[in-house]
Amino acid sequence: MTDATNPAAPVERPSLLVPDARTAKRNAAEARFRAYGLSAIIISLLALVVLLFTIFAGGAGAFRQTFLHVPVTLDAAQLDKKGNGDIEDIKKVMTLTYGKLLDQSVQDLIAKQGITIEGLTDKDVANLVSKEASAQLRNMVLADPSVIGQTVDARVLVNGRVDGYFKGRVTMESAARDSNTSPAQLQLAETLKDKGLLAKEWNWAFLTNPDASDQRPEAAGVGVAILGSLYMMLVVLFLAVPIGVAAAIYLEEFAPKNRLTDIIEVNISNLAAVPSIVFGILGLAAFINFAHLPQSAPIVGGLVLVLMTLPRIIIPARAALKAVPPSIRDAALGVGASKMQSVFHHVLPLATPGILTGVILGLAQALGETAPLLLIGMVAFVKNFPSAPPAGLFDPASALPVQVYNWTQRADPAFMERASGAIIVLLVFLLCMNLFAVFLRRKFERRW
C-alpha cells in the first residue's frame, strides 16, 4: 500500500503547559462572550438605576408638601348667621366666605409677627395659601361645627408656586416673570418659614385626595386613581382568573387534540400579542356603544382589561399544567381515578405555583395598562370618589397609569412632580404584587 508514515519517526507530543492554537482561540471566544454578557447586564442595570433615580428624584416631592400654620378665628357671625348651630344652615355658607376669613387671618398673622416686606401686595398675601385651603377649612368646620366661634390653629396648603420655591422648582428670577407669584410673596414665605410657621411636612393627602384642577396642583392626589385601579383589579380578579384558569385546564387536560383546538391555541397566542389599544377600541364598541355601560367606569375598564389579561393567564397556566410529569397522571389513572379526579387531586396542586405566578403577573400587567383605558374615557377629570362596590363599579373613576398620563399633559410643572409621585405609587404596587408572586411560588414549591 502507499502508506507513507514512517513508524520509526517519534510523534511530536505538544506540552500540556502551553495551550495550543485551537485551545487559545476557543478560550478567547469564550472570554469575549462572557464580556458581552457582562456588559449587557451592566448597561441594563445602569438604565434601570437612571430610570428609578429620575422617578424618585422627581416624585419624592409629591409626598412632602409645604403647609402654613395659621390661627383662624372662626367668626360665628359670618359662619353661623342664625346662631342656632344647625348643620344645614352652616352648609349654606359658601367657600368664598371661608376664603375671606382665611385671607384676614393671614393678614393678621403677618401684622402680629411684625413682618414688613417691600412691594408686598394684598393679592400676594391672599395667594400665599392654596385656593384649596378655604375648602379645607370649610370641610373642617362641617365635620365639627362646635369649633365655630373659637380660634383654631389651621394647617393649610400653600400655593403650588411657593411650594415649588422650597422644592427648587421656582426661583426669584422666574417669580419676577410669573403673574401667579412675585418675589415679595416668596420673601414673605421665606420669613414665615424662618419663624417656624411654614414648613414642608409629610403629605398623606397625596394618597387620599382626588385629582385637582389646573390651578391647584398642591391639592392633587391619587386617591380616586388608586380606588379606580383597585376596582378594575377586582373585576379582573373575579372574571379573568376563573375563566382563564378554567380555559387552560380544559384545553390542556380535557380538550381533544384536533384542528379546532389547534386553531384556538394559535388564536390565544395571537391575542396575547395584540396591541392593547385594540382592546380599547373593542371595549368602546362593545361595552359602551353597544351595551351602553357608562363611560369612565371601572366596570368597563375592568372588562377591557379582562379581555386583555385572559390570554396572558391562559398561556402560563397551560405551560404550568404541561410541566406536571405524566407519571403522576398515570399513577392517578392506574388506581382508578377518573380524569377529573386525576386533574383536580394531583395535577392541579402541582401546577398551582406556576398558575398563580402567571395570574399575578397578568394582573400586574393589567394594573399598568394605559392605552385601552384612554379610549373608554377613563382619562376624564374625576373629583368625586366612587362609592363602594358593586355600585361603585359603575361610578366614574380614574386609574393610576391614566392619572400619570393626565398629569404629564398639564401646563403647570408642579404636575410633573405629581406624575412622578403617582409612578412611585404604581411601582410600589407592582413590586408588592411581584413579591407576592415570588412568595406564593416558594410557599407551594417547598411543600414537598
Partner 1 sequence: MNDMRILERAVSQTDIKISARKVQVYYGEKHALKDVDVDIQDKTVTAFIGPSGCGKSTFLRCLNRMNDTIDSCRVEGRIALDGEDIYDKRVDPVQLRARVGMVFQKPNPFPKSIYDNVAYGPRIHGLARNRTELDEIVEKSLRGAALWNEVKDRLAEPGTGLSGGQQQRLCIARAVATQPEVLLMDEPCSALDPIATSQVEDLIDQLRSEFSVVIVTHSMQQAARVSQKTAFFHLGNLVEFGNTDDIFTRPHDPRTESYISGRIG
Contacts with partner 1 by CB under 8 A lie at: 256-257, 325, 327-338, 341, 345-346, 349-350, 447-448
Nearest to partner 1 of 211, 253 (CB atom):
253
Estimate to the nearest angstrom the gap between the alpha carbon of 64 and the chain centroid. 18
Q: Is the C-alpha dihedral spanning 386, 387, 388, 390 positive or negative?
A: negative
Q: In whole angstroms, how close is the CB of 328 to partner 1 at the nearest point?
A: 6
Q: In whole angstroms, how close is the CB of 333 to partner 1 at the nearest point?
A: 6
**403-387-87 Cα angle (round to 5):** 110
Nearest to partner 1 of 60, 440 (CB atom):
440
CA distance readout (Å), 161 to 66, 132, 174, 179, 403: 10, 14, 10, 11, 21
Q: Is the C-alpha dihedral spanning 157, 159, 160, 163 positive or negative?
A: negative
Listed in order, strand segments (DSSP E) in 133-286 are 151-157, 198-202
User: Distance between CA atoms of 440 and 115, rounded to whole angstroms?
Assistant: 61
Q: In whole angstroms, how close is the CB of 348 to partner 1 at the nearest point?
A: 12
Nearest to partner 1 of 94, 263 (CB atom):
263
Task: Please answer whether residues 255 and 261 qualify as being in contact, where contact means their C-beta atoms are separated by less than 8 angstroms.
Answer: yes
Q: In whole angstroms, how close is the CB of 357 to partner 1 at the nearest point?
A: 18
> Which one, of 244, 309, 301, lies nearest residue 274 by Cα?
309
For the beta carbon of residue 113, count every other beta carbon within 10 angstroms.
12
Q: In whole angstroms, how close is the CB of 301 to partner 1 at the nearest point?
A: 40
Nearest to partner 1 of 114, 336 (CB atom):
336
* Torsion-angle region of 396 (φ positive above 0: left; ψ -120 to 50: alpha; else: beta): beta
Nearest to partner 1 of 9, 335 (CB atom):
335
Nearest to partner 1 of 303, 350 (CB atom):
350
Question: Residue 82: enclosing H or E segment and its boundaries?
Answer: none
Nearest to partner 1 of 258, 409 (CB atom):
258
Cis status of the peptide bond prior to 298, with omega within 30 of 0: no
Cell of 103: 385671607
Q: In whole angstroms, how close is the CB of 265 to partner 1 at the nearest point?
A: 15
Q: In whole angstroms, how close is the CB of 331 to partner 1 at the nearest point?
A: 4
Nearest to partner 1 of 114, 326 (CB atom):
326
Q: In whole angstroms, how close is the CB of 353 to partner 1 at the nearest point?
A: 12
Q: In whole angstroms, how close is the CB of 326 to partner 1 at the nearest point?
A: 9
Nearest to partner 1 of 195, 442 (CB atom):
442
User: Distance between CA atoms of 362 and 359, rounded to whole angstroms?
Assistant: 5
Burial class (CB within 10 angstroms; exposed 0-12, middle 13-18, buried 19+) of 389: middle
